[in-house]
Amino acid sequence: MENTKNKIICGVCYYPEHWPKEMWRKDLLRMKENGIELIRVGEFSWSITEPEEGIFDYRFWDEFLDLTDEMEMPVIFGTPSATPPAWLSHKYPEILNCNRQGQVYSHGGRRHYNYNSKVYRKFVKRITEKYVQHYGARKSVVGWQIDNELNCEIDEFYSLADEEAFRVFLQNRYGSLEKLNLAWGTVFWNQTYSDWEQVHIPANVPPNTENPHQKLDYCRFVSESACSFAKMQSDIIRKYKKPGDYITTNGWFEKLNSHQLTRESLDFFSYDCYPNFAFELCEDPLNNQTLNDRKWSKYLSEIRAISSNFAVMEQQSGENGWTTSMETIMPRPGQIRLWTLQSIAHGADRIVYFRWRTCTFGTEMYWHGILDYSGRENRRLAEVRETVKLVKKLNEMSGAKYQARFAVLMDYDNLFDTKADRWHMLMEKESYKGIFTAAQLLHIPMDYLYLEPDVTVNDLLKYPLLFYPHALILDERKAGLLQDYVRLGGTLILGARCGQKDIDGHCVTEMLPGFMRDFSGADVVDFTLAQPNYPENYIQWGDARVPAAVFHDILEPLPGAKVEGVYTGDYYKGKAGFISRNVGKGRIYYFGAAFSTAAAEMILQKLGYATPYAEVLELPRCCELAIRKKGKMNYYFVLNYSDLSQEILVHCSMLDMNTGEEVCGIRKLKAYECFVGCCEKEI
């Protein structure tokens, strides 16, 4: 029923269990009248189908799906494992998660279960099987969502089942206590284990005394637990679903290898996109991010690294907030359209707004959807209606690929290590924010690329320039991959502390940057955290003063390397902070600090990457440029995040996909307006 081959689909999240049955037909008809072509349902409805243990009642969803079949409204059906029913929580308390202190979470919220309870898995298997067997044959059911927002709210698990599963995970990983003790460095602080029963999840230890290697493995364990839980459901769905129906899950949260999750269990990944969090009222206004809602393009870019074409399963349509937290303002006129096109610009081919009607009760009764409590016509519905009309004009770009000029490398070992190592986290946070912000302000479309086991040098060579900001954990295989990339013509930029750790998070005894030392030509002879109370230090690079943020690796060049820049202050004034070396057809740079926005801007400018599409479009810094390509056609998105009108200059004739007119010259954009143009011109 759903066809996205040549279509970008707009849908809504709908909760028929929240509304009288006599409203259903009217709501579905009204959705269709406003261009809605897809609904997501069912992800919190376990008790409706299984009101008591082993008693199944299919009438509610049968009655609703009779309507969707009749009205030809495609449905994504959610498995209900995010919220176990009260009878299950009460009768089998071992399914519940615990906090660090071992206190069991009570029924009454959500995501209070644990992934590793064998009892919970048994019941989840059964309800998933019942759902797919009974409802999967429906012609209107076109896809399945597993659970809801894995690792949201809670990404730490301390139940007895998790303790037992953690030990099994470690036994499979290390095979013996001797190897575990070595990997965790347990001789430090007399932590050595002599029996597996002594090994626990890092929980209620004295503040700030956690073993970082234990915590690194714990992050890996949580990810593995979530992936296994999802795969259990995916295997059942694949067994019973109709051919062509897809499987996804929504959300993107910490301590989760989303690549493994997608590879093992999904047809594509889905994201829940709420840019309005940028305007949360409880945020410190003096600490506001430069990009505000534009920062969600960073998150969408990271989702694109998981699935090149993905879905947004919850797209912001109203102010978001719980009764307990998250106070935000209502989206301003034009922002729903802006955020919709932001998602599409970055690769989304399905947009599902959250939600059709705002719920009148419960924790999320202030998480507003398209319609208010009364259901009256309002400006948000009018804006969604007009946005959907515009999106239908973009159907031809379904499946089009985002066009990036460079990429930032990431990997899960280093990502998880930032949860165990505050020093690492400070550098990563500064650099990933800084590089992305610089790319946005210089209008350079960029990608993220995770160094997963299946990534090859040809994958890297798609990008002439790669940043790998702080690869503290760097093994020989990844180092070899990076070296091959440079030899074959790539430009690689490394940041401070590269190669400092092994796969267990131990600091290596080799001189830094470890496996990359001889290859980069950089020898780290000294180092220090940047002292915040001192005058800001810079790296002088020719006529440019590049800010040196967070950490300073003090360098000496090895034979064949070139000093690009030196520190301007402190006791290491005049010492090298930026070194390069030509290798084969390419070049490698070692930058001895974190990449602030200003530093990343200067580096991108001096290397000739700034404003690569200037001969096609000129636009102010408050606007984003994104490009998707399909066949010979390039689709240019210009997104105005400002509350003021802006002017862009279109240098080559292109088709305005909204108006159908040829555009060349000055094009004015109203506040929050977007321009989407297409032409075949190559850059």
pLDDT at 683 over 80: no
According to the model, what pLDDT value does residue 373 have? 97
Tens digit of pLDDT for each residue in 478-489? 999 999 999 999
Catalytic residue among 2, 37, 50, 149: 149
According to the model, what pLDDT value does residue 282 have? 61
Mean pLDDT of the region 156-185: 98
Rounded Cα distance, 435 and 449, in Å: 14
Domain annotation covers residue 413? yes
Mean pLDDT of the region 568-577: 97
Q: Which residues pair with 586 in a beta bridge?
A: 583
According to the model, what pLDDT value does residue 446 have? 99
pLDDT at 160 over 70: yes
Q: How much of the chain, in percent, has pLDDT values that exceed 90?
A: 94
The overall average pLDDT reported for the chain is: 96
Co-location of 420 and 500 in the same domain: yes
Mean pLDDT of the region 75-92: 98
Co-location of 537 and 518 in the same domain: yes
Tens digit of pLDDT for each residue in 172-190? 999 999 999 999 999 999 9
Co-location of 466 and 578 in the same domain: yes
Co-location of 658 and 595 in the same domain: no
Tens digit of pLDDT for each residue in 117-130? 999 999 999 999 99
pLDDT at 565 over 60: yes
3-state helix, strand, coil in the chain (%, to 5): 35, 25, 40
pLDDT at 286 over 50: no
Bridge-based pairing state of the strands 465-468 and 406-410: parallel
Least confident residue range of 255-269, 281-295, 307-321, 350-364: 281-295
Q: Would you call 163 a catalytic residue per the annotation?
A: no
Co-location of 447 and 532 in the same domain: yes
Bridge-based pairing state of the strands 491-494 and 586-591: parallel
Rounded Cα distance, 355 and 362, in Å: 15
Number of domains in the chain: 2
| Domain edge (last residue) among 584, 606, 628 | 606
Domain annotation covers residue 425? yes
Residue that the structure tokens 């290590």 belong to: 417
According to the model, what pLDDT value does residue 496 have? 98
According to the model, what pLDDT value does residue 204 have? 86
Per-residue pLDDT band at 325 (split at 50, 70, 90): confident
Mean pLDDT of the region 252-274: 98
Domain annotation covers residue 236? no
pLDDT at 3 over 70: no
Domain annotation covers residue 466? yes
534 versus 363: the higher-pLDDT residue is 363
pLDDT at 409 over 70: yes
Rounded Cα distance, 568 and 412, in Å: 35
According to the model, what pLDDT value does residue 6 have? 80
The CATH number of the domain where 476 resides is what?
3.40.50.880
Co-location of 633 and 523 in the same domain: no
Per-residue pLDDT band at 289 (split at 50, 70, 90): low
Tens digit of pLDDT for each residue in 195-222? 999 999 998 889 889 999 999 999 999 9
pLDDT at 652 over 80: yes
Rounded Cα distance, 198 and 186, in Å: 12
Q: Please give the residue range of the domain that contains residue 645.
A: 617-679
pLDDT at 287 over 60: no
Q: Where are the beta strands (DSSP E) in 520-622?
A: 522-529, 538-541, 544-547, 551-557, 562-567, 576-583, 586-591, 617-618
pLDDT at 537 over 90: yes
Q: Which residues pair with 104 in a beta bridge?
A: 98
Co-location of 673 and 568 in the same domain: no
| Domain edge (last residue) among 606, 639, 661 | 606
Domain annotation covers residue 658? yes
pLDDT at 5 over 70: no
Co-location of 578 and 673 in the same domain: no
| Domain edge (last residue) among 576, 606, 636 | 606
Mean pLDDT of the region 235-253: 98
Mean pLDDT of the region 229-234: 99
How does DSSP classify residue 278? Answer: G
Co-location of 473 and 590 in the same domain: yes
Specify the 3-state DSSP secondary structure of 630. Answer: strand
Bridge-based pairing state of the strands 623-630 and 633-640: antiparallel
The Cα-based distances of 405 to 105, 467, 503, 530, 639 in angstroms read: 47, 12, 30, 31, 18
In 3D space, the residue among 584, 592, 525 whose CA is nearest the CA of residue 553 turns out to be: 592
The Cα-based distances of 301 to 344, 439, 450, 626 in angstroms read: 11, 12, 12, 11
Per-residue pLDDT band at 288 (split at 50, 70, 90): very low
Least confident residue range of 320-329, 425-434, 571-580: 320-329
Co-location of 525 and 668 in the same domain: no
pLDDT at 469 over 80: yes
Q: Where are the beta strands (DSSP E) in 166-262?
A: 246-248
Catalytic residue among 2, 224, 302, 314: 314
The CATH number of the domain where 669 resides is what?
2.60.40.1180
- Torsion angle of C-alpha atoms 250, 255, 258, 264, degrees rounded to 10: -100
Domain annotation covers residue 527? yes
Tens digit of pLDDT for each residue in 88-109? 999 999 999 999 999 999 999 9
End-to-end CA distance of the chain: 39
The Cα-based distances of 156 to 76, 98, 108, 111, 215 in angstroms read: 29, 9, 19, 11, 11
According to the model, what pLDDT value does residue 285 have? 46
Mean pLDDT of the region 107-113: 93
H helices of 393-445, in order, are: 412-420, 422-441
Rounded Cα distance, 326 and 310, in Å: 27
Per-residue pLDDT band at 280 (split at 50, 70, 90): confident
Co-location of 508 and 542 in the same domain: yes
Residue that the structure tokens 């800084």 belong to: 434
Mean pLDDT of the region 60-83: 98
Domain annotation covers residue 446? yes
Q: Would you call 673 a catalytic residue per the annotation?
A: no
Rounded Cα distance, 610 and 440, in Å: 10
Co-location of 430 and 560 in the same domain: yes
Per-residue pLDDT band at 624 (split at 50, 70, 90): very high
Domain annotation covers residue 97? no
Mean pLDDT of the region 11-20: 99
